[in-house]
């Protein structure tokens, strides 16, 4: 009897636990969801400010489907798109979105994975439409930010029209490049032009260098000539005041030029005027 009573208590406790777990549930502040009764949505949870926390539902008859309330993101696969100038480009994009209407989202998409697949098709369609009217140069560099904004606006209109319960936060074109085969062909086409342009730049630079060197040399010679003339003028004025000092100074310069290196051999008469200042100093002995 005691054993049967314990078994009954155990069954009752288990049943009570099942009822409690089927009745109460918790919604995190980062979550939102809908309550389904026999598969049909009956109410929304934590979407419009009713708040997270402990919630109650009809046990066994109702179940809760939760969705992330935060912004979500995905990257599209690479897609080849024909630009307005018929140039083929490989493009991929980055998309950020959030579930704005859980009931509409569940009705149209059911879950986040299906939403990402559907949104990827939409963004590719928007990219084809937006970039198909622009040149490849605009897409790659000149108007990329403008085209990105146009793509986002077009995708947002498509999402609203589709009643998906999703808000588009941002769309970014991550990559817009030529396919490898086209890129090699374009490189081969523009390489001779770039080489010719580089050769022209080098030729102009060489001419400019030669002109700069010639002008600098001319200017240096002019300055040197003016300096020599000024030096000669200063010497002439100085020597005119003292002829004996002038003779002495010129002899010293001659000694320096001829014997300054220390390895010069000279054959001269001992009484040569060249050495008169060695014997008599600045006066020169009067000879």
Position 184 scores a pLDDT of 52
Q: Which CATH superfamily, name and number, covers 72-178?
A: Band 7 domain (3.30.479.30)
Which one, of 231, 235, 277, lies nearest residue 252 by Cα? 277
Position 269 scores a pLDDT of 60
Position 120 scores a pLDDT of 93
Alpha carbon of 88 to those of 94, 111, 147: distances in Å?
Answer: 20, 34, 16
Cα torsion 139, 143, 149, 153: sign: negative
Domain assignments of the chain as residue spans, ordered by start = 2-68, 72-178, 180-241, 243-287
Which one, of 151, 133, 180, lies nearest residue 93 by Cα? 151
Q: What is the pTM of this model?
A: 0.59
Taking residue 248's Cβ as centre, other Cβ atoms within 10 Å add up to 17
Mean pLDDT by 10 residues, the chain (287 residues): 75 85 88 91 83 87 91 91 87 93 91 91 92 86 86 93 93 83 53 72 84 85 81 68 64 62 59 57 50
């Amino acid at each position: 009897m005691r054993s049967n009573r314990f078994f009954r208590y155990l069954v009752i406790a288990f049943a009570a636990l099942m009822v409690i777990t089927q009745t109460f549930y918790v919604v995190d502040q980062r979550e939102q969801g809908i309550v389904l009764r026999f598969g049909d949505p009956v109410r929304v949870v934590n979407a419009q400010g009713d708040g997270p926390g402990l919630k109650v539902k009809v046990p066994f008859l109702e179940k809760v489907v939760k969705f992330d309330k935060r912004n979500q993101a995905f990257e599209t696969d690479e897609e080849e798109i024909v630009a307005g100038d018929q140039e083929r480009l490989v493009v991929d994009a980055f998309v950020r979105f959030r579930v704005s209407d859980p009931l509409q989202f569940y009705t149209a998409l059911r879950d986040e994975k299906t939403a990402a697949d559907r949104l990827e098709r939409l963004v590719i369609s928007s990219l084809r439409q937006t970039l198909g009217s622009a040149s490849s140069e605009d897409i790659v560099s000149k108007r990329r930010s403008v085209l990105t904004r146009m793509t986002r606006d077009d995708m947002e209109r498509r999402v609203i029209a589709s009643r998906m319960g999703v808000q588009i936060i941002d769309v970014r074109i991550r990559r817009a490049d030529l396919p490898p085969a086209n890129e090699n062909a374009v490189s081969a086409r523009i390489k001779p032009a770039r080489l010719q342009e580089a050769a022209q730049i080098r030729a102009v630079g060489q001419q400019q260098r030669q002109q700069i060197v010639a002008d600098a040399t001319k200017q240096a010679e002019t300055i040197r000539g003016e300096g020599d003339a000024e030096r000669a003028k200063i010497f002439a004025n100085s020597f005119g005041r003292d002829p004996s000092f002038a003779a002495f100074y010129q002899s010293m310069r001659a000694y320096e030029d001829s014997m300054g290196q220390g390895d010069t051999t000279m054959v001269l008469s001992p009484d040569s005027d060249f050495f008169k200042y060695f014997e008599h100093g600045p006066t020169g002995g009067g000879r």
